[in-house]
Amino acid sequence: MSLMSEKSILPSKFLSCLMIVSLSILILSSLSLIRFGDNSFISRSVFKLILVNTTSANFKPNVISERIEPPSLSSVASPSLSSVASPNHTPRPIRSREVAWQVSNSSKKFGALGKDRRKGCVPNEALLRVYMYDLPPEFHFGFLGWKGNGNQIWPDVGNPSGIPHYPGGLHLQHSVEYWITLDLLSSNTPSVTRLCKAIRVQNSSEADIIFVPFFSSLSYNRDSKLRRKKGGVNRMLQDKLVHFLEGRDEWKRLGGKDHLIVAHHPNSMLNARRKLGSAMLVLSDFGRYPHKIANLEKDVIAPYKHIVKTIASSDSAPFERRPILIYFQGAIYRKDGGQIRQELYYLLKDEKEVHFAFGSVRANGINQAGQGMASSKFCLNLAGDTPSSNRLFDAIASHCVPVIISDEIELPFEDVLDYSEFCIFVGAYSALQKGFLLNLLRGIGQDKWTKMWERLKQIVQHFEYQYPSRPGDAVDMIWEAIARKISSKQFEIHTKNRYHRLQLIGKTS
Helix 233-246, helix 216-223: angle, nearest 10: 150
How far is Cα of residue 135 from the mean position of the Cα atoms in its chain? 21
Residue 331: predicted pLDDT: 84
d(CA 256, CA 258): 5
Residue 118: predicted pLDDT: 40
Distances (CA, A) of 380 to 157, 389, 395: 38, 11, 8
8 Å CB contact between 193 and 61: yes
Residue 219: predicted pLDDT: 96
Residue 332: predicted pLDDT: 84
CA angle 493, 245, 68 (to 5 degrees): 75
Other C-beta atoms lying within 10 Å of the C-beta of residue 15? 11
DSSP lists the bridge partners of residue 261 as 212, 281
274-322: per-residue pLDDT in tens? Answer: 999 999 999 999 999 999 999 999 999 999 999 999 999 999 999 999 9
Residue 112: predicted pLDDT: 45
DSSP string of 165-180? PPP-GGGGGG-HHHHH
**Amino acid at position 92, single letter:** R
Question: In 383-454, which ranges are E strands?
Answer: 401-405, 424-425
Other C-beta atoms lying within 10 Å of the C-beta of residue 1? 6
Query: Phi/psi zone of residue 159: left (φ > 0), alpha (ψ -120 to 50 degrees), beta?
Result: beta
Helix (H) or strand (E) holding 325: strand 324-330
Domains and CATH numbers, the chain: 55-305+467-492 (no CATH), 313-463 (3.40.50.2000)
d(CA 250, CA 245): 8
Question: Residues of the chain whose pLDDT is less than 70?
Answer: 1-18, 21, 23-122, 224-231, 334-338, 361-363, 489-494, 496, 499-509
